[in-house]
Structure 1
Amino acid sequence: MQYMLMIHEDESVYAGPDGEAILADTLAKHMALAEALVAAGVPFSGERLKAASTATTIRWDHGSHQIHDGAFAESHEELGGFYIITVDNLDQALEWAKRIPVPGKGSVEVRPIWPMGAEG
């Protein structure tokens, strides 16, 4: 089963005086996680996202839409990246999610992917 692991983090940790070092350390930990996934034979993909300030959001209201600059919601935690992994069950997905580096405060949301064409 496929799961999306969505990384929500406080982007301000990268803006402080130690920001570059924190970013380098975090990226190195993501590379190590990718190597561990490969070594374990877990199919995966993942990407880092640009800052939430670069987002554009389209909001629908009963058939009409408006385009807004910025992310969907104002929050200290912003979607910074994601992995999509294929594992046997939620417990395995959670174990991999616990290994995702999140500097400062943040969270990793684990959600099963609904296969295209699947019913209910």
Structure 2
Amino acid sequence: MNENILYNFLKNKPSFLDYDDELKLMDIMTKLPMSWFIKNKDEFICALDQLHDSHTIGSGFLYQEECDDIIFDNFCEWLKEVNNKTGIATLIYIKDLSSEGLDEFRKNLRKDENTDK
């Protein structure tokens, strides 16, 4: 098995991933066996850091539609599983990657857009 799976996906990508690449990266990660994460912890954490930064600092969350909330929430549940099965500290990413709080943000955004008209 190619050990640099996540590095290879990310190597030609910008520091802040496009939203579609965020989704692809999460899909790639969730299909890897837990043993891969233990063996490639640094690569995994680097990829998680880039995903986190892209989604928060890079404003990927602005592109997250309500229909994608389940993808991020399932990913966060998967991060809990990774934490529990491997001992890798993944819980720190959950708050910023979950859809919690986005409904309120979207409601305020729509309200602001309506008052600008």
TM-score > 0.5, shorter chain as reference:
no
Q: Which structure has more helix as a fraction of its residues?
A: 2
Greater length-normalized contact order (CA 8 Å, ≥ 6 residues apart): 1
Larger radius of gyration: 1
Q: Which structure has more strand as a fraction of its residues?
A: 1
TM-score by length of 2: 0.29
